[in-house]
Structure 1
Amino acid sequence: MRPFMAEVDLNKAYRLLNVGGTTLVSAAYNGVSDIMPATWACALDLAPTKATVVVDSSHFTRPLMEKSGYFSLQLPTAAIVKETMRLGAVSKFDMPDKVEKSGAKLFTMPGFDMPLVEGCAAWMIFKILSEPHNQNQYDLFIGECVAAWSDTRVFSNGHWHFEKAPADLRTLHYVAGGHFYTIGEPLVIEGILPEED
């Protein structure tokens, strides 16, 4: 396990996606891997945690997902915004060494061969729930979370706490043309909803 990295209870893993941040999608098959940013990813179900992600058929990552049956969603932070942009600026079809040239530092977790990117706030691995119509018609993949980890400086005990961490650990929220926002300050409303654990 990496410093500040802890396993996340799969029953709380959906909360990792509730912040709506830009994701990095990675996949690997037969010794070949790729990583690409995607903003069209979101939580779909609570228990077990499921998510959707849109990955166009023109992306190098897509056939790796389809062949392996797995993908990861990671939440990059402000600390790695340049690496995130470089991973999305060019396809591995056009630049086979794009991941190496991106400057992203990679690692893997036991039992999974896909690359994960250092400097993220969270990492989730999903098994694809095959829905050929959605995948072919809408480029929409549904996955069930089989493993999840977070950087405990920003997510622990099932909750985000960005306000207690350095600004470079805030998640990225992409607009267009290299323009991002980072997540802001908390606004807590009490006394309306029941207490959550």
Structure 2
Amino acid sequence: MSRRIAVPLPRAYLLLNHGPTVLVSSAHGERRNVMAAAWNMALDFDPPKVAVVIDKSTLTRELVEASGEFVLNVPSRKIAALTLAVGSESGRGIDKIAKVGAGTTAAGVVKAPLIDDCLAWLECRVIPEPHIQKTYDLFLGEVVAAWADPEVFSNGRWHFPDGERRSIHYLAGGSFFATGEPFQV
């Protein structure tokens, strides 16, 4: 597991506001799963909320609906191949987390696991909105715990020490961008 520090909940939006692809981890009963999601965003500050698209055909959707919780994990370039793999295959009939060799750590509040080697983690409880879930596959979550690797995020700012420890942004066809150099105006 990467080291992690708590991020104050009203500042959790900072973990997503640069638009990274995330890994959505979920669990219910003895089942667990992870999928990649490029369509996600911070939605509010206090209480902090997020939005993520989870297609109705996925095992992740089934587990999130059953448990009412999920984790948004912010992967790094170091695990881009794992991110592509979990976004390309269904978890039905297999333990996708084990198949791709992803390490996990127990979350602090929810039952869905934290995926190791990520840069940040947002533990979420579903805010029930049946109409938008059914119509648009859009899930809203209240962030109940937020964590970040202090090597890349501290004092409310991202600071990437090297190319492998940058967040990633999925384009299509296996192509990603890594977050670039920060600058201030």
In which range does the TM-score fall when normalised by the shorter chain? over 0.9
Tell me by how many angstroms 1:3 deviates. 5.1
Tell me by how many angstroms 1:30 deviates. 1.0
Residue 187 of structure 1 pairs with residue 183 of structure 2: yes
Deviations 1:16-41 (A, max 9, x none): 01010000001111121100000000
Tell me by how many angstroms 1:78 deviates. 0.7
**Which residue number in structure 1 is paired with residue 24 of structure 2?**
25
Tell me by how many angstroms 1:110 deviates. 3.7
Tell me by how many angstroms 1:84 deviates. 1.1
CA distance in 1, matches of 2:38, 2:143: 18
Select between 11-20 and 105-114 the one with higher mean Cα deviation: 105-114
Write the mapping of 1:90-101 to structure 2, written as runs, cut at 5 A: 90-93=89-92, 95-101=93-99
Superposition TM-score, scaled by structure 1 size = 0.90
CA contact (8 A) 2:24 2:70 kept: yes
CA distance in 1, matches of 2:151, 2:159: 8
SS at match of 1:136: helix
Deviations 1:155-197 (A, max 9, x none): 11111112xx1211100100001100100001210xxxxxxxx
Number of positions where the alignment pairs a residue of Structure 1 with one of Structure 2: 185
**Which residue number in structure 1 is paired with residue 47 of structure 2?**
48
Aligned-pair Cα RMSD in Å: 1.2
CA distance in 2, matches of 1:127, 1:137: 20
**Which residue number in structure 2 is paired with residue 112 of structure 1?**
110
**Which residue number in structure 2 is paired with residue 72 of structure 1?**
71
SS at match of 2:9: coil
In structure 1, the gaps of 5 or more residues are 190-197
**Which residue number in structure 2 is paired with residue 175 of structure 1?**
171
Q: 2:152 aligns with which of 154, 161, 180?
A: 154
CA distance in 1, matches of 2:2, 2:85: 25
CA distance in 1, matches of 2:71, 2:107: 11
Tell me by how many angstroms 1:97 deviates. 2.9
SS at match of 2:81: helix
CA distance in 2, matches of 1:185, 1:150: 19
> What percentage of residue pairs aligned between the two structures are identical?
44
Deviations 1:37-88 (A, max 9, x none): 0000001111111010000101110011011111110110011111111111
Bigger Rg, which one: 1
SS at match of 2:87: helix
CA distance in 1, matches of 2:30, 2:23: 19
CA distance in 2, matches of 1:97, 1:71: 17
CA distance in 1, matches of 2:105, 2:167: 20
CA contact (8 A) 2:52 2:138 kept: yes
In structure 2, the gaps of 5 or more residues are none
CA distance in 1, matches of 2:139, 2:38: 14
CA distance in 1, matches of 2:154, 2:29: 34
CA distance in 1, matches of 2:110, 2:45: 23
